[in-house]
A and B are shown apart, each in its own frame.
Chain A
Amino acid sequence: MRLRWTLALAFVALAALQVAVVVPLALRNLSALLGRQQEARVDQLMVAVDAEAQRLQGDVKRAMDELAQSQALEDVARDAARIPAPAHVTTAATALMTPRGLDVLALVDDSGRTLSSGHLPARIGEPDDPLFVVTKSGARTVVATRVELSAPEGIITAPALVTARPIDYGERRVWAIGGILLSEARARDLSRLTGARVEVVSDGSVFAHAGDAAPPTLSRTLPVGEVATVRLTFSQADLVATRAEVLRAFIGFAGVGLLLSIIAGFLVSRRITRPVEALTEAAEKIAAGTPGITVDGRHASGELKALIATFNEMTGDLKDATDKLVASERVAAWQEVARRLAHEIKNPLTPIRMSLETLLAASQRGPLDERFTRLFSDSARVVLEEVDRLKRIVDEFSQFARLPRPELATHELADLVQPIMALYGPHDGITFDVQLQRGTQVKADRDQLTQVLVNLIKNAEEAMSGRSGTIHVRVKSGEAPCVEVEDEGPGIPAELKARLFEPYVTTKPQGTGLGLAIALRIVQEHGGRLEVLDGTSGGALFRVSLPTVSAR
């Protein structure tokens, strides 16, 4: 895995680890905190509810005190015994009840008979014993009791807070019993005050309720005397919602952080690894033989910058050294060439000198006889042979030196190889195995490439002289297209491999030593590569790789 990805992953992993550890911890703490706050709020609200209940009781007391002092009730007390009761008596409760914010008001004579009822006008003239009991409960206290009301389903009892006040007119006494119902309206008020679902539970069933509390919930109850219980149910949905909200926000932030850390990690690692990669690439290039590579060190910093500078210095030195080496090698090579050429040229000169000295000696010894004639012809033939040989040497050398620039054209590689191979047939125990894979287009000079192949095949034939076997010629297409020529000869000694393409290096008695050099030169001119490898059957394998033309 590349360093860049390794680094980026490391960053991401670090960030993810942080999220995984921090979020649950934070959430747990937050939940606990919110829960405590909720409890505290509910406790506060219950205090408020209690205060509201006290206020209601106070209101009832005040309203009833005021009522007991009113002229209207004095009139009622005065006329209570009249038969039939005058209208101001029978309608008194209804008229007096509403303006004072009371839900319940009954005017009752001392025998318990209802003179006027505001909450159940139909009660008029009837006794209302459960309500009348309130008058016995002592002075001025607000009592929780059950009050009968008319409802669509029949007469119902409703929990109420009431208090009784006596109104005296001479001997006569009239009771005003009034108060408030624990009704929907009260529940609604409480619900508005607390935001909770409020239920008035009386006799085990819900008498009135208001508000709503989404689960999960928290309940508190408040007893109202012995007749009812007020149950407040607080919703904790907002707590859950807050938690979910925070969780979502956390996850969101974590996701964004993670993404950012990936991007940052990638960017940072790229920043760090780019010079390293450039160094790697440059090193690879240098290893492949491209000298003088420098790395752009502008984006690097610190140690890497120093490293790049050092590397650049090193490659510069290396190039200089290589250049110097190449120059000296070239001088040495040319010295060798000159030496070899001199040697080659000197070799024929000896027979020529000897022939000519023989002839000269023979001519000085006597007349030109028969023997001389034979000797002359022999000598002349030797001289001619040697001159031819000289000429050949000079021709080849001049060819090597004057190799023209290739005229490149696009060819199918197989099409280049096939006509050449048509010229070769089995001979002297040598057979040819030609495998042509089509599909590789190359830019090449046909004549020069032909020269390369001929040289390689000739080299192979020469390597197999005196043996029988097969020469394999393969054109390979695909990822690495090439032409391979493999013989089944003795192979090339390792020490020779390095110098094989140098001019005048040959293993063969008849070779000039320029064939492979010329082939290499041509291939290089084409921008290709000529390699020598060990063949599968112990012989040599020459591979020609040429730059391909893209399919387009």
Chain B
Amino acid sequence: MSAAPLLDVRGLRKYFPIAKGFLQRVAGQVRAVDDVSFTVNEGETLGLVGESGCGKTTVSRCILRAIDPTSGQVLYRTRDDRVVDLAPMSRQDLAPFRKEIQMIFQDPFGSLNPRMTLLDNVGEPLLVNGVRSRKQRMERVAELLRLVGLRPEFMHRFPHAFSGGQRQRIGIARALATNPRLVVADEPVSALDVSVQAQVLNLLLELQQSLRLTFLFVAHDLSVVRHIADRVAVMYVGQLVELAPTSAVFERPYHPYTAALMRAVPVPDPRVRNDDGILRGEVPSPAAPPPGCYFHPRCRFAEDRCRVEAPTLREIVPGRFARCHFAGELEL
């Protein structure tokens, strides 16, 4: 593994203006992503978790440049070991990197064109990237379908003929068409039934090994993230609150929000039932976050300092970051 990370996100911000009145004057900002920094090493899976509205999807869309970040850097290490910043790049300059960073979507029904056969759905990224020969595309699509565990003969069929799990495999095949290095998977298994979810998770793990893929895995389901990710980044109201190796986080979280999130997962064991430590209140709006630590109104450890002074994301022990004044001191 090379020393430099494949992806190095620094101080990423994305603010959406709130327009008001007839003249659509800007009345405020929604800080969807507010100073987010993390790295993803080659061959690694970074799990990005948080509840709806925390900004995890906005982060992934900024990295893919589906939207333009307000500020910050998205440093990407190219195949020839140069480091480029994707954030300010023009569409033209970005083009060669588009095929190296691909996406797997959540909804296996909405993300495939129902009027196109698998050949055209999976082959479209190839066409866009200059593979003009239909024969070449057919060969590559056949190879990709085999790779994701589907029969190559299926390529002339339309998406409606397939189940949710099979469609998600098709979406994965399409993401792999251009030989990407980084794959951003936004909730790739949350729309699937339990019995199919395990199949797709296993496929992703297999593909990562055989193709040396790097994953940014965006999800809300902690048990899925725990299973697949090497490191976990937890977001709350547009900010990272904890970033650490997966096993360490699940053994002992450093941020009270991470701990609350873990306790909130319903345990599939009727002998373990308790309502202790249920988080009160609701997630604040990123348009008007509370002063001090964003989490303090819901935190059972909050002290006066938390109400006025915003904590920074700091390294508590090597490799473990948390945004809490008392990280490492609390019994979570």
Q: Is the A/B pair a real complex?
A: no
**A residues engaging B (CB < 8 A)?**
none
